[in-house]
Structure 1
Amino acid sequence: MPQLILQPAGNAGGRSHFADTVANPVPVESIRAFIHADDADRLQEHADSVPVWGVTPGTTGTNARKWERIDVGDLSLFMREGRAIAAGLVHLKIHAPALADHLWGRDERGQTWEHVYFLSPTWTIDVAYEPVNDAIGYASDYRHQAFNVLGETEAERVLGLSSFAEIARTAEARRGQRVWWVNQGQAYRAQRDAGFVWAPKRTKAGSANRYHLDVLRLRPNDLIVHYADGARAIGTVEGRPVLQERPASLNAHDWGNDGYLARVRYEELDPVVDINDIPIQWRRDEAGAGSEIPAFNRDGAVKLGYLFELTRGFWERLMTIAVPDGSPSPVPASSLGKVVQEFADGLRGANLRFTDELITRFVAAALTKPFVILTGLSGSGKTKLAQALACWLGCAADRGTLALVAVGADWTASDKILGYPDALDPSNYVRTPVLELLMHAREHPREPHVLILDEMNLSHVERYFADVLSAIESGEDLHLHVAPGERAGIPPRLPWPRNVLVIGTVNVDETTYMFSPKVLDRANVIEFRPGAEELRRFVRDPAVPSLNLLSDLGVEFREHFTSPAAGTPRAELLRPLERELALFFDVLEMHGWEFGFRTASDVVRFASAFDGVCGGRGDIGAIIDAQVVQKLLPRLNG
């Protein structure tokens, strides 16, 4: 999802710049001498002329820090004289003082608009400030006089306004289906009978409530859990939200009359799901799952408020209670069962050859825990498979959602991963591609991010990766520096983002190091062994793989990779799994290789994920075989 850039263009300089370089796009050839050749080529591949804008650093660097947060695909609104006059999506951003000097000169302080971003596409619009301000949560008469970058939530609300419907179709092309929880209380019956959800823009006192404003974030085909002293129905959103006065069937309470309404098709649950029927641990997990504002507090109680976004993992769990086996389902079948088949089809279309068994194990492992190790012969496709999953999910380096990092033999500390404070400049922090990915993931919790550590055992993994392993496992913050506040935009502590998947590739030879049980306990280890028949097929048809053919094909499944998989498999799987685990424990214990609770927990979670990607028809034998070779046997030789 895009962020929202608010760009004033009302003073004399802003008007001039807008007319010169936005309303009249700049020919790429005329600026090629002022930017890197690769950037010029990238722009020209898209169009011969491009709209361009820039901001000065600001007196204290404030604008520069805001500009740093901008990503490709973000929505920029140009504001002047009480109206939004134009909109555009960020196509490229670069730091280009020479270009800015060439296009716009310098201001009275001697600064130029060197923090540059290019736009494509752009739209001419004419929208009053009031609905935009209301959607953001500002005062209705707020005047936009300073450059600002707001988050995805605010962007999604603005794009929910009917005036932005055309822009939303482009900006939200990769959004995917969302799931929600709405607390309706006494309003449930009236809203169910008329087929809608409604919330006021403001209270009678004139204040905005973000739980109400988030109705603007609903989109067609989103799913809603309707809660009123129990989960009473599952709703499917049937239309974009619209501005509408409070329906007469709703009591006034302390609400204002103007609000937002979305049409919803209700399917009532029978029986109603009592809150105590939803395990308290599920609710606590949801509270800590990384949602901006979860539906539950850390004690598992339902929060006061109206509309909350749910994680896909909680939704999948809840459906096992709300829609028991054999009952007619009021909701579409989970898309989890389609992930493997769709990914496998995409791989074949991109000329990448992997067995269905390997693909199923890999996807299930990625859904179980955000750390997977791929090992095997050099050139067997380990890195390509990792890149393929990232590309299929829509992750890319230029979007800030993919980092492919080659591990070096000299990596002996975490600074290669997390960066370090500059000893020569107390105001600076030396960043790394991994840290940039983590920062981006923290700011975009709904997007999956993939970190690929290529040849990760060229150095001792524990030396450079121990802090990350601990953060993934414990949920504790990563410690970056000891300054009291941010240092060059880097906070002292950084929580590990739950939407980051780490994939390590491993070769085993005389130049590499073996893994310790500490590392193996925290990952599924999948070995690549191409068979003779696979090799013969490749020789007969040596097609060149093309990752570009996979790009964005799996975006509808992204949410499965941003929240943990449900932890408890079906009872038919759990009982034999318990017996087999106990048997393996007894055998390994006799030789001093027994495993602990973490391994047992991961095996159970893998069983649930494996069963899910198999559409609820996972074979217990295949699950046990996979975990023996991926979790238990690697411990025997490290």
Structure 2
Amino acid sequence: MIKKNRSWWKDDTIPNLIGRKQIDWSIFEYGTHIPMDFHEDFDTANQNIEIPLGQSKKALLTIEGSQFECNLSRINQKKQLREALQIRYDSNTELKDYMIAKFRSTYNYLFHKRSQAASTKNPITVPEQFAEYVEFYATDQPFVYELKLITNDVPIPENQPAIWWVCQGTSFSVQKQESVLWAPLKDSSGKTPHHWETMKDVRVNDIVLHYSNGALRAVSQVQEAAVEQPKPQSLSDQQWDEQGRLVVTEYHELNPPIQLTAISQDLLQLHITKGPINRKGGVNQGYLFPFTLQGLSVIQNKSKDTPWPEFTLLSEVEDVEQEVELVTLTDEETSAHIQSVKSYIQQQGFTYPDLMIENFYLSLKTKPFVILAGISGTGKTKLVQKFAEALGATEANGRFTLIPVRPDWSDPSDLIGYKDLSGTFRRGKLTYALEEASAQENQQKPYFVCLDEMNLARVEHYFSDLLSILETQRWQEERIVTDTVVGEEQVGRNIGIPENVFFIGTVNMDETTHPFSKKVLDRANTIEFNYIELDNFIGLEEAAVTPEVEIESLYPTARFLTSNYLQLKDAYAEYKDLIHDTVNQLVKINTILESIHAHVGFRVRDSICFYLIYNERYSLMTVEEAMDFQILQKILPRIQGNHSGVKKVIIELLVFSLNGFTSNSKAYVEGERDIEQEWKKLRKENNVKYPQTAQKLIYMLRRLDHDGFTSFWVS
């Protein structure tokens, strides 16, 4: 038996054949989607070992004696009420380069067509007679497949037909009857509008979509290219110039017609240059407009009840959202990737305190904005760079953007962009990064934006708008979206902050920098770099590198860092006990902070709970260690001042950090007992509940006693 579904084919008489896949752009970009009809073939090849829904399993592809790693992922496509199976090798550049080299003919053709297209949202395929294929064969091992490549060394001709859209109005029926298009050479003022001039570019076999009275009513294939010819007699009642251009084309009526309202919004997303659709979703005034193969494919996808003639079927009519489905990592896979990141950073010769990388990861996972604070030269920027590199993001590939902050920044224009005197919008570095990260083919890749020396200018002046936009995060079709950062009138489309973009600010606190407001502190984890071990040489010696924990060749997708929760209710049912325990601790802390109006609200509560939840999921540290980081990073930066009330709060928090209680703090506040001596005693016994918090509070208390003023930012 032979079966076929989209670009897949199988003949059951061929031993061990799982299926043959026609080469398309996905093979060079990420892998391939496997149609439902072929799921059972892969299940059989995998000896019926099931992959749980929403998870993936490592697989091996054997090609001409070489082996390449990939993931076989089973995805829950809730929007389509179905599951999907995919072979993914997004970051395996060795395999992608191999495929490009082997299928050079298809790659060159598709690359050329994609570069010419107004949008690559819909698939572009090569003509069938020039198609190349990869065949998947089962082996005696599950999740190990033998691949056979069927290549074509003949260059593929690029003379695909052009696509046009003609607005005919009341002249539709007459021109259809005569199988022609006709447009004047000049208007009443002697000029030739571009929508008439396009007639001279029409060629034989081009495809024309015919629009009239609110709907597409026919499609035609051009039989004779445009020639100059007087207005046909049948159009004599039309108030046009007598001289014009005529095209002979064979009409095929679309039944039922395709209403403009059903397709206009999708076509708007293609941004077709000088196309027929205006910003309001209507049609532009004019006659013949250039259109695209992608636009035709969108219309065909939206009109599956309308029979289309064979000459229009130039691309697969397929749900293209499959191509950008993000693979969800299991908690075990996430933990393994974190260890790989740590190993990579150490192998690069950089060392950080225990749990620093885990803390940085959890902070980014909780909220895509983290502040790294400390004295100059402690490796803050290097941590960001190396962490990004470990996930495949570098300056070279455009996924790591370093933006040095200037002291004269007073608004977002230096980040986002501005209009010059001519009215042209000049993009800022951040806008370039957001545009690239939001492109369909990049949605599965993490992007990092590092604002270096972030507080040289007042953060509230140039970054406040972006912080407010981050607060608009919401779920939309299983992805996190925000309000618009830069609009259609500036860059041609609305761009928010994609879920795969992560902001990190590095700061040095001295007399040349500005402090942070609570608005900034509430929205970030502040990680401090002030405890330096100059004699730590781990990572500098070759012997310190352990090959068995080398970083994996496959980078995780952006979902490695993307938040799973936006509101506490998203996690409450599953982590109710942990949430209650955490909030009980925060209630005690808030009771202390209220006296100096430094208590926290729901935003900080949720953020700390999410941090603790992720930590439990990935088993990175103890609950006490995680809570210690959160008090240090989310609570203490709010405390500053020069009066007795601040000292009372610091001492009460110190007592709480030593043992988790506040009931015996009065004696320490009133000076009857020495809190620093108690801290030294418990620290020596290794019996401090929150040791990092306690140590920072001791420094803050010493500074208050010595200088009469203290804050988190000085030590």
Bigger Rg over Cα:
2
The one of the two structures with greater contact order (alpha-carbon pairs below 8 A, sep at least 6) is 1
TM-score (norm 1): 0.49
TM-score (norm 2): 0.44
